[in-house]
Amino acid sequence: MKNILLASTALVATAGAAAADITFSGSARFGAIYDSSAADEFGIHNRFTLNIDGTTVTDSGIEFFARVRVRGENEGEGATSSSGVSAPRVGLRTNGVEFAVGNIEGAIEEMPGLYDGEVGLTALGDLNAVGKTSLYGDDWDSFSSAGGGANGEEVKYSANGFSTHLSHSPVSERTALYAACSTNEWFVAAGYQDGNLAGEEKILVTAGATFGQFNVGAGYGDNDGTAKWRLSGSANVAAGTSVTAFVADDESASDTLWGLGFAHDIGGATLVGGVVGDENGDNQADLGLKFKF
- What pLDDT is recorded for position 79? 55
Q: What average pLDDT score do residues 122-134 get? A: 97
Q: Please state, for a pLDDT cut of 70, what percent of the chain lies above it.
A: 92
Q: How many whole angstroms from its chain centre is CA 173?
A: 22
3-state secondary structure of 45: strand
Distance CA 107, CA 164 (A): 8
C-alpha separations of 261 from 7, 46, 114 in Å: 40, 19, 17
- What pLDDT is recorded for position 16? 39
- What pLDDT is recorded for position 5? 33
> Where do the domains of the chain lie, and which CATH numbers do they carry?
4-292 (2.40.160.10)
Residue 2 pLDDT exceeds 60: no
Give strand pairing partners of 96.
Answer: none
- What pLDDT is recorded for position 8? 33
Distance CA 152, CA 174 (A): 9
Of the pLDDT bands very low, low, confident and very high (cuts 50, 70, 90), residue 83 is: confident
Which segment of 29-38, 78-87, 225-234 scores lowest on mean pLDDT? 78-87
φ, ψ dihedrals at 125, nearest 5°? 90, 0
Q: What average pLDDT score do residues 88-97 get? A: 98
Distance CA 156, CA 105 (A): 11
Strand segments, DSSP code E, in the chain are 4-13, 16-35, 42-57, 63-76, 79-80, 84-85, 89-94, 97-102, 152-159, 162-169, 174-182, 186-194, 202-211, 214-223, 226-238, 241-250, 257-265, 270-277, 283-292
Q: pLDDT tens, 20-59? A: 899 999 999 999 999 999 888 999 999 999 999 999 999 9
- Is the Cβ–Cβ distance between 104 and 153 less than 8 Å? yes
Of the pLDDT bands very low, low, confident and very high (cuts 50, 70, 90), residue 3 is: very low
φ, ψ dihedrals at 209, nearest 5°? -150, 155
Q: What dihedral angle (degrees, nearest 10) is formed by the CA atoms of 63, 56, 110, 178?
A: 20
Q: What average pLDDT score do residues 145-157 get? A: 96
- What pLDDT is recorded for position 78? 52
Distance CA 284, CA 80 (A): 19
Nearest to 262 by CA among 229, 220, 290: 290
Q: pLDDT tens, 265-293? A: 999 999 999 999 999 999 999 999 999 99
Distance CA 283, CA 290 (A): 22
Q: pLDDT tens, 134-146? A: 999 999 999 999 9
Distance CA 50, CA 66 (A): 14
